[in-house]
A and B are shown apart, each in its own frame.
Chain A
């Protein structure tokens, strides 16, 4: 089980790999779409990689609710 800081670090690595955004930019308050400029196709890639990395399921309807990096960290934390 990863704690929230570890989840944030892991998520930032995935975002860097998929979208080329520096890990330092990926903080809890950032919006995936509005701040990090990540498109819907990249969000699907990020979700699939996060599922593998953290052993969670992120259904599509849930993915749509994860607006910020913090939302994703919280969801993963509660569901891993």
Chain B
């Protein structure tokens, strides 16, 4: 069966307005977390005053009229997709022939929550101004398939547009579905990933009430601290990550630069609790095992795990238990959410890019704020400085509310 290769990638995140600046900031040990810009924190007297907001506002990048027709989640998807598409060498000028047969090109881009800020804003307009004030663009802006659909229009994809929704596993699941489409030979190229922009009064309040967010308001950059004994919850972030994935033969025929191989995937579910992970980590371990099996590699080949680790008390240690069960004690771990915050539906795709770059460039970014490793974690977690390490394969984990477990294996070309 065909291999699946990565020929382009793009991102917009709290660390940078594109993939390169995000990667550089991550390696430099910077944090994307700060005091939340927005009136809602004060208005509702929310106990969480910090978040990881975008480094570059989408309206600074997108043409004004295009931006006003899109929800913020759609805007970040569009920005990351354009970067990835150009990076893959597939962008064309308006009126030029497309470089990929549109019917052999698919889009798989998901979001965890969808256009929630549009939903809330338009509901306010309905309440205060009545029907006439509601935008005719409300539905296309709030629908969860909006980011994928917008990108399909941009690149002219007619081979199917799909929008998985699996909360915080969405971005990784999207890459996994792209892998399946390519392996099945249904299309030649897929533009895939995840996008989220849901930092609003209601979502923050909801996460606060679920007791999941860090309240370290006095030191925002230290708030996201996966695996550290003093972690107290995750930091809500926003952004998008998009990859261009191709059948290896197709990429080779067009002479594309290949950055890595999405060698295997594992998608499993817990059926245990709607938000809490199975403490045995069975479903997570099965996702990793399935990803290694589909990649045709053994646990000893996996030198690194790019962890989901969000900085919640229960989740982080559980994941390491699952890693030990599935792979063993040897993989070196890192937790990029320590710097990025938690990009919800965007997280798995941005972190997939990071894991792939770690394999390509032989360097693992450090986990920020790891002052004292939780005694429940017996694995080697990179902290302080990035670690140079030759890697033949890395696993990237993403797990989501609802019991979704997604693991991806990236290997060297």
Binding site for B on A (CB under 8 A): 18-20, 40-42, 44-45, 48, 51
- Tell me the nearest residue of chain B to A41, going by C-beta: B136
What separation, in Å, do the CA atoms of A6 and B136 have in the docked complex? 27
Q: A41-B136, A41-B137 are in contact. List 6 more A-B contacts (CB 8 A).
A: A19-B65, A20-B63, A20-B64, A20-B65, A41-B140, A45-B136
A42: chain B residues within 8 A (beta carbon): 136
Q: Are A48 and B132 in contact (CB under 8 A)?
A: yes
Q: How far is the CB of B64 from chain A (nearest CB, A)?
A: 6
Interface residues of B in 30-81 (CB under 8 A from A): 63-66
Task: Looking at the assembled complex, report how far the CB atom of A23 sits from the nearest CB atom of chain B, in whole angstroms.
Answer: 14
Complex Cα distance A45/B137, Å? 9
A45 near B65: Cβ-Cβ < 8 Å = no
7 A-B pairs with CB atoms under 8 Å apart are A18-B65, A20-B64, A20-B65, A44-B136, A48-B132, A48-B133, A51-B132
B135 at the interface (CB under 8 A from A): yes
Chain B residues positioned under 8 Å from A51 (CB to CB): 132
Q: Tell me, in angstroms, the Cα distance from A20 to B65 when the chains sit together.
A: 6
Interface residues on B, range: 10 to 19
Main secondary structure of the interface of A (DSSP, over half): helix
Q: In the complex, what's the smallest C-beta–C-beta distance from A80 to chain B, in angstroms? A: 17
B395 to chain A, nearest CB (A): 44
Q: Would you call the interface of chain B mostly helix, strand, loop, or mixed?
A: helix
Could you tell me the distance between the alpha carbons of A45 and B136 in the complex, rounded to whole angstroms? 7
- Please provide the 3 A-B residue pairs with the shortest distance between their CB atoms, ordered closest to farther: A20-B65, A44-B136, A41-B136
Whole-angstrom distance between the Cβ of B159 and the nearest chain A Cβ: 24
Q: Which residue of A lies closest to B64 (CB)?
A: A20
A51 to B130, CA, bound (A): 15
In the assembled complex, the Cα of A18 lies from the Cα of B65 at a distance in Å of 7
How many angstroms from the CA of A18 to the CA of B64 in the assembled complex?
10
Q: How far is the CB of B29 from chain A (nearest CB, A)?
A: 41
Question: Chain B's nearest CB lies how many Å from the CB of A15?
Answer: 11
- Once the chains are docked, how many angstroms separate the CA of A40 from the CA of B65? 15
Report B128 CB to chain A, min CB distance, Å.
14
Contacts of B66 in A (CB 8 A): 20
Give the Cβ gap from A17 to chain B, nearest Cβ, in Å. Answer: 9
Q: What is the bound-complex CA distance between A40 and B136, given in angstroms?
A: 9
A57 CB, min distance to chain B CBs, angstroms: 10
Shortest CB distance B287–A (Å): 41
**Alpha-carbon separation in the docked complex, A51 to B131 (Å):** 14
CA separation between A45 and B133, bound complex, in Å?
A: 9
A41: B residues at CB distance < 8 A: 136-137, 140
Residues in B with CB closer than 8 Å to A19 are: 65
